[in-house]
C-alpha cells in the first residue's frame, strides 16, 4: 500500500543518512518533502475514490427511483383497468332464476 511505501522510503532514507549533521538534516528535509508529496497523492486518491463512490451511489438511487416510478405507473394502470372491468361487470344483467 502507499503507506507501506512511505514507511519503506522513510526507513531507507533514515538508514542511508549516516554522516554529518548537515547531511542528516538534508536527508530529513528530503524525507519530509517525499512524505508530503506521498500524502498529497493519497489525499487526491481518497478524494477520487469518494467521488466515484458518491457518483455510483447516486446512480443506484436514481435507478431505484425509476423502478419505483415504473411500479407506481403499473399499479395505477392496474387499478384503472380493474375499475373499468368492475364498472362493466356491474352493467351485466343478473338472472335471478339462476340463484
- Tell me: the pLDDT tens digits for 63-96? 899 999 999 999 999 999 999 999 898 888 887 7
**Structural domain of 82:** 2-92
Note whether residue 97 is domain-resident. Answer: no
CA 63 to chain centre: 14
Is residue 17 classed as helix, strand or coil in its secondary structure? coil
Q: How many domains does the chain have?
A: 1
C-alpha cell recorded at residue 83: 375499475
Note whether residue 99 is domain-resident. Answer: no
Q: Please choose, from the candidates 30, 2, 35, the residue with its C-alpha nearest in 3D space to the C-alpha of residue 17.
A: 30
Note whether residue 70 is domain-resident. Answer: yes
- pTM to 2 decimals? 0.45
Note whether residue 98 is domain-resident. Answer: no
Amino acid at each position: 500500500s502507499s503507506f507501506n511505501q512511505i514507511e519503506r522510503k522513510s526507513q531507507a532514507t533514515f538508514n542511508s543518512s549516516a554522516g554529518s549533521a548537515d547531511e542528516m538534516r538534508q536527508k530529513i528535509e528530503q524525507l519530509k518533502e517525499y512524505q508530503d508529496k506521498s500524502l498529497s497523492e493519497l489525499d487526491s486518491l481518497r478524494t477520487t475514490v469518494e467521488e466515484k463512490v458518491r457518483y455510483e451511489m447516486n446512480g443506484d438511487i436514481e435507478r431505484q427511483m425509476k423502478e419505483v416510478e415504473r411500479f407506481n405507473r403499473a399499479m395505477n394502470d392496474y387499478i384503472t383497468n380493474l375499475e373499468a372491468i368492475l364498472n362493466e361487470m356491474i352493467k351485466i344483467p343478473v338472472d335471478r332464476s339462476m340463484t
